[in-house]
Structure 1
Amino acid sequence: MKFAQPWGRQRLSFLLENAASREAKMWRSYVPKKPTSQDIDVSPAQRDEAVRWLTELHSRLQLYPETLALAVSILDRFLAPIKARPKYLRCIAIACFFLAAKTCEEDERVPSLKELAASSNCGCSPSEILRMERLVLDKLDWDLHTATALDFLHIFHAMVMSCHSGFLDSVSGLNRSQHLALLTRQLYTCLADHTLMQLRGSMLALGLISLELETCCPDWLALTIDLLRKAQVSLFFLLP
């Protein structure tokens, strides 16, 4: 995991405000597409299958969690306004994954395009992936910098840890990093469910944290409300 160090409360407030700013700028409400011929547009079920495929690939390559979260975000932003034929979906998905890896990973950890094409069994050549990568970048105006649900999960988890030192006492056998890794795996499952695309990443992350708090903290509701208040305050100051 990329960010495992403890953060001070002032730093956490800054990170939350910055993430909320990016989310407010980039997030668009999910509008389910009208049913069409499956040869004409990617269905929600096909989108979910592609995300699960990327999750398996990500696990095999042992890349940072941020890479998968960003790859799914790029994929969804690209697919939302267009009709993409399902036969191109894996090429689109692997191009999004490659862009995310180059954004989030250290240079030496980024797989070569040839390696990625071969190990993923995506069915397209490196040159085809490069062409698709350019299409994705052009469609997104070359702006990949967005706040993902994972960003908020990291921040909310650190906030709980900073104000509730006994949080992990009830989570047997897990240290701070292991517990965050557990929540991250739960988030991966959520990312592969298109019905949850109705939620902002911040609210999805808060929901996961709240469910975890409920299982181990008597004052879970007060902690959840406090996190929600902090998130809403960050958003409030961004409104015109």
Structure 2
Amino acid sequence: MYASYVRMVTSRRGRGNGLHQQKGKRLEKQKTDRRPASRKCPSNISGYFELTERDPSVDMEAFRLMKELKLNLEQESQYLPKESGLKLIEANPEGKGISAKCRDDKVEDLWSLTSFFGYSTQTFVLAVNLLDRFLAMMKVQPKHLACISIGCLHIAAKVVEDKCDVSSTHELIRISQCKFTVSDLGRMEKIISEKLNFQFQAVTALTFLHLYHAIVLSHTSSRKEILSLDKLEAQLKACLCRIVFSKAKPSVLALSLIQQEIEALQSVDLFEIAQSIQRHLRISETELQLWRGLVAQCLVQYSSPTCSKPNHRKLVWIVSRRTAQNLHSSYCGAPELPTIPEDGWTESEDWSEELSSGEESLSSSLGSDAEGPYFPAHFQKKSAA
């Protein structure tokens, strides 16, 4: 009887353990079913952009890039020069006020000075942005244009470069071969800063160029050697030496440069990524094709051997100490230009005065910026034809 009781208890325990095991398996299965399905990156790049924007857990780096892209897109219009002011400059004939050629020559001089002092591309692009915003806002006399452009470069350098790398005001005036004093430049920088409301952290085409390049590399890491950021930056500099590109939205101009370079590389994958960026930012095909055509035309002209290009080598001299002292006294002595008036920046100011005959453009001789890796070979072939 005892033996039968033991068998009965053992069998019940066995059934109980089996029930517990089955119940445990059911609970485990329920927990497994409740787990979220693993997210996979879709093969469609455009869909990946949308998924990344909704859920940062997909790719934190991609989420950061898309968030930064969206923020800059919202702010880019705040740092555009007034289009009406740019049109007035374009309409001005040479010799009467600030013409488009005067502006373009000064921007090329800024490029030369940027190369000479070893400043970054960001410094040059910001200086051009400050210059265009100021010229589009104020009517100024041509004799002050050199001081304005150097002032914009000095402001940009102080914003972008490390403090130890920023050239002194005295050195900047001496190397630029301009005929104004340190106090003149200081007053000019104050005027520029006040008129631009001290908004120096501008969203520029270079901002979007870096973002687009990073997005492309995040999807095609094996193509770092093909899509060169240095080449794209050099092409952007060439475009900024033409006032027409100051009217372009920075996001559109940067995408035009990216697509132009991708077309030269004949890469289907990269072109698909560029098109996805275009759709994501809702840039119309008409607008993009307009600026792509202007970019292509500019690069063809710039690749031509007859085109005058910035040449920072013209700023380098090897002279004796006595000659250096003579240069110092001749370029930094009493200026030929009158003192810049504090209240002289009004809408009614006369534009009739011409540029000082003593100033020579630093971009009058050919440079090496259109050679080597900076401009695609097919542009040079077109210009040669």
TM-score range normalised by the length of the shorter chain? 0.7 to 0.9
Q: How has the CA–CA distance of structure 1 residues 112 and 146 changed in structure 2, closer, same or farther, with 3 Å as cutoff?
A: same
Aligned with 1:17 (options 61, 66, 70): 70
Check whether the contact 1:12–1:159 (CA below 8 A) recurs between aligned residues: yes
Check whether the contact 1:71–1:99 (CA below 8 A) recurs between aligned residues: yes
1:139 is the counterpart of 2:192: no
3-state DSSP of counterpart to 2:178: coil
Identical-pair percentage: 33
1:164 is the counterpart of 2:217: no
Aligned with 2:250 (options 182, 201, 211): 201
Check whether the contact 2:132–2:246 (CA below 8 A) recurs between aligned residues: no
Q: How has the CA–CA distance of structure 1 residues 36 and 160 changed in structure 2, closer, same or farther, with 3 Å as cutoff?
A: closer
Aligned with 1:113 (options 145, 150, 169): 169
* Alignment correspondent of 2:88: 33
RMSD between aligned residues: 2.0
Check whether the contact 1:38–1:86 (CA below 8 A) recurs between aligned residues: no
Check whether the contact 1:40–1:83 (CA below 8 A) recurs between aligned residues: no
Per-residue deviation, 1:157: 0.6
Alpha-carbon distance in structure 2 between the residues aligned to 1:116 and 1:153: 29
Alpha-carbon distance in structure 1 between the residues aligned to 2:247 and 2:145: 22
Letter in 2 for 1:66: Q
Per-residue deviation, 1:85: 1.2
Alpha-carbon distance in structure 2 between the residues aligned to 1:144 and 1:40: 30
Task: Using structure 2 for the length normalisation, give the TM-score.
Answer: 0.54
Per-residue deviation, 1:27: 2.3
Alpha-carbon distance in structure 2 between the residues aligned to 1:218 and 1:38: 45
Per-residue deviation, 1:208: 0.6
* Structure 1 stretches of 4+ moved >4 Å: 36-40
How many residues align? The count is: 220
Task: Using structure 1 for the length normalisation, give the TM-score.
Answer: 0.85
Per-residue deviation, 1:80: 0.2
Q: How has the CA–CA distance of structure 1 residues 130 and 29 changed in structure 2, closer, same or farther, with 3 Å as cutoff?
A: closer
Per-residue deviation, 1:229: 2.5
Aligned with 2:148 (options 71, 84, 92): 92
Letter in 2 for 1:210: Q
Alpha-carbon distance in structure 2 between the residues aligned to 1:21 and 1:122: 38
* Alignment correspondent of 1:104: 160
- Cα deviation digits, residues 99-151 of structure 1 (max 9, x gap): 00010011111111111111111222111111110110111112112101111
Aligned with 1:226 (options 270, 273, 276): 276
Unaligned runs of 5+ in 1: 1-6, 234-240
1:213 is the counterpart of 2:267: no
* Alignment correspondent of 2:181: 125
Alpha-carbon distance in structure 1 between the residues aligned to 2:173 and 2:105: 18
- Answer 1 or 2: higher relative contact order, Cα 8 Å, separation at least 6: 1
- Cα deviation digits, residues 137-184 of structure 1 (max 9, x gap): 111112112101111111101111111234346x3xxxx7xx211111
* Alignment correspondent of 1:237: none
Check whether the contact 2:82–2:136 (CA below 8 A) recurs between aligned residues: no
Alpha-carbon distance in structure 2 between the residues aligned to 1:134 and 1:193: 26
Check whether the contact 2:151–2:185 (CA below 8 A) recurs between aligned residues: yes
Check whether the contact 1:40–1:84 (CA below 8 A) recurs between aligned residues: no
